[in-house]
Amino acid sequence: MRKLSLMMVVVLVLVSAMSIGSFAVSSPTGLTASNTTCVSTTLSWAVPTDNVGVAGYEIHKNNVYVKTVTTTSSVETGLTPNTTYTYSVLAKDASGNKSSLCPSISVTTPADTVAPTTPKNLSTSLVTSTYAKLTWELSVDNVSVVGYDVYRNNTFLKTVTRNCIIDSGLTELTEYSYYVIAKDGAGNQSTPSTTVNIKTTSVPTGHITLSLDKGIASVGSIIKASINISDIPQFGGAIVDIQYDPTVVQPVNLFDNNNPYAAGDMTEIEGATILTNGNYVPVTFSNFKIEQGNIRLFRAYRDVAKYKQSGVAETTGTLGIIGFKVLKAQPITIKFANPYPNFNEGTSLSDWDFDAIPAGGYKVIQSAPVAGFLYGDVDGNGVFNSTDYAYTCQYLLGMITDFPSPTGKAAADVDGNGIINNTDYDYMKQYLLGMINKFPAEV
């Protein structure tokens, strides 16, 4: 009797374990699809029976798991028009037990025959001598708009994915007409927008300039280089690259006791008078590649939307000022570089939509080379010696009317008073005799 009771206990334990969740979950029944569109369908099914309770349902599309839901219906989106899909569902309980997949059903989405809405309010926000910027309201489609075909003078121009285009390469003082058609992935096209007519302006006056404050610079002197913007409509940002010979000049910070700039990113270039309004969150950074002789400056507004809403664009000002210390007595070239094909002579300007201004939309004015010289070096060979002293003597005696070097007169004026006379000659003598190690003009 005692053994029988023990066996009964074992049976009861096994039965209890099975009742906790070891029985299989039954499959959902009655899977159907309804409200099927080009891109979606609604699946529904009946609740299966389970000894504990169904915790969720796995949906499989084309025999691949998609997601788990807790209700007996699901809206499936992201489908492709005119495509057949198979769906099946299984149930699972809180213990992780799963039923088998229910019988699958096939769902075919209809073809997309609905065209996008017509682009509205086509307008030109900017017209210059060489380019025009057009914008319009986004079109709406039952699936999605994939692009806009832009037509110029009734001829297809290009397809864009945004509701904006900058058409460049135009001819000054010329009339053009534009309209736009929206299209979806199935090839459905909207009716054309209204037509906009424009006339380009005369040759642009807008430009970016690299200005140097000296045409002649002595060894040890500082050249001030200013990066200036002038008459750039709707100006919103700039990237400029400046190239120089690092063996001839050294970039220095004019606002920090002419200390040399260090190589690397995020070094501040000061002296800006444009894109500095704190209301629009100005952003600026630079990258000094000292060994390569390259400086990159970026300046723009982060809150460009607020800047644009003001309706008042900053069009003229200084992006920054950089000093260059002269290291060698030879011609000095500091200019906008051209490292990338989409740069306009080392410059890339953008409008207040962050759209790049085409190269023809502004001029790039480069700085002229600077003649470098060494005080006393009137023959221009890079050193001061007795030959230069002799040339100076001949000049003072009227035996020669100029010096061999184009910068000879500047080099001969070693006291820096603008006149070449016996005082300069005496200073040269003292320098050669070791009585002084610098000329007055260098002190």
Look at residues 307, 315, 320 and name the one whose alpha carbon lies nearest to residue 357.
315
Instruction: Let me know if residue 11 belongs to a domain.
Output: no
Predicted confidence at residue 51, as pLDDT, reads 56
Predicted confidence at residue 359, as pLDDT, reads 80
CATH number of the domain encompassing residue 335 = 2.60.40.680
Q: Given 175, 199, 223, which residue is the final one in a domain?
A: 199
434 CB-near residues (< 8 Å, 6+ apart): none
Predicted confidence at residue 119, as pLDDT, reads 98
Residue 98 DSSP one-character state? B
Look at residues 78, 96, 71, 87 and name the one whose alpha carbon lies nearest to residue 34.
87
Predicted confidence at residue 103, as pLDDT, reads 95
pTM of the model: 0.74
Predicted confidence at residue 439, as pLDDT, reads 95
Residue 429 DSSP one-character state? H
Is the domain of 146 the same as that of 252? no
Instruction: Let me know if residue 16 belongs to a domain.
Output: no
pLDDT class of 50 with cuts at 50, 70, 90: low
Instruction: Let me know if residue 17 belongs to a domain.
Output: no
Q: Given 169, 199, 229, which residue is the final one in a domain?
A: 199
Is the domain of 63 the same as that of 188? no
Is the domain of 297 the same as that of 359? yes
Residue 204 reports pLDDT greater than 80: no
Q: What is the dihedral of CA 63, 66, 67, 71, to 10 degrees?
A: -60
SS3 252: strand
Q: How far apart are CA 425 and CA 390, in angstroms?
A: 10
Residue 102 reports pLDDT greater than 80: yes
Predicted confidence at residue 94, as pLDDT, reads 86
Is the domain of 291 the same as that of 151? no
Among 50-64, 357-371, 402-416, the least confident range: 50-64
Is the domain of 365 the same as that of 270? yes
Is the domain of 99 the same as that of 169? no
Is the domain of 359 the same as that of 387? no
Instruction: Let me know if residue 113 belongs to a domain.
Output: no
Q: Could you read off the pLDDT of 232-281 as tens digits, one per residue? A: 999 999 999 999 999 999 999 999 999 999 988 677 899 999 999 999 99
Q: Given 372, 401, 425, which residue is the final one in a domain?
A: 372
- Written as six digits, the tokens of 419 are 């006149």
Q: Within the chain, what is the greatest distance between any pair of CA atoms?
A: 144
CATH number of the domain encompassing residue 133 = 2.60.40.10
Instruction: Let me know if residue 101 belongs to a domain.
Output: yes
Q: How far apart are CA 397 and CA 218, in angstroms?
A: 26
Is the domain of 362 the same as that of 216? yes
Domain count, the chain: 4
Q: Could you read off the pLDDT of 146-170 as tens digits, one per residue? A: 999 999 999 999 999 999 999 998 9
344 CB-near residues (< 8 Å, 6+ apart): 359, 362, 364
Is the domain of 104 the same as that of 131? no
% the chain with pLDDT above 70 = 93
Q: Could you read off the pLDDT of 292-318 as tens digits, one per residue? A: 999 999 999 999 999 999 999 999 999
Instruction: Let me know if residue 213 belongs to a domain.
Output: yes
Is the domain of 192 the same as that of 98? no
Is the domain of 60 the same as that of 170? no
Q: Domain limits at 129? A: 123-199
% the chain with pLDDT above 90 = 83
Instruction: Let me know if residue 14 belongs to a domain.
Output: no
371 CB-near residues (< 8 Å, 6+ apart): 215, 216, 217, 331, 332, 406, 407, 410
Look at residues 381, 259, 383, 379 and name the one whose alpha carbon lies nearest to residue 325.
259
Look at residues 147, 176, 177 and name the one whose alpha carbon lies nearest to residue 164.
147
Q: Rounded mean pLDDT of 423-441?
A: 95
Instruction: Let me know if residue 117 belongs to a domain.
Output: no
The mean of the pLDDT values for the chain is: 91
Is the domain of 44 the same as that of 133? no
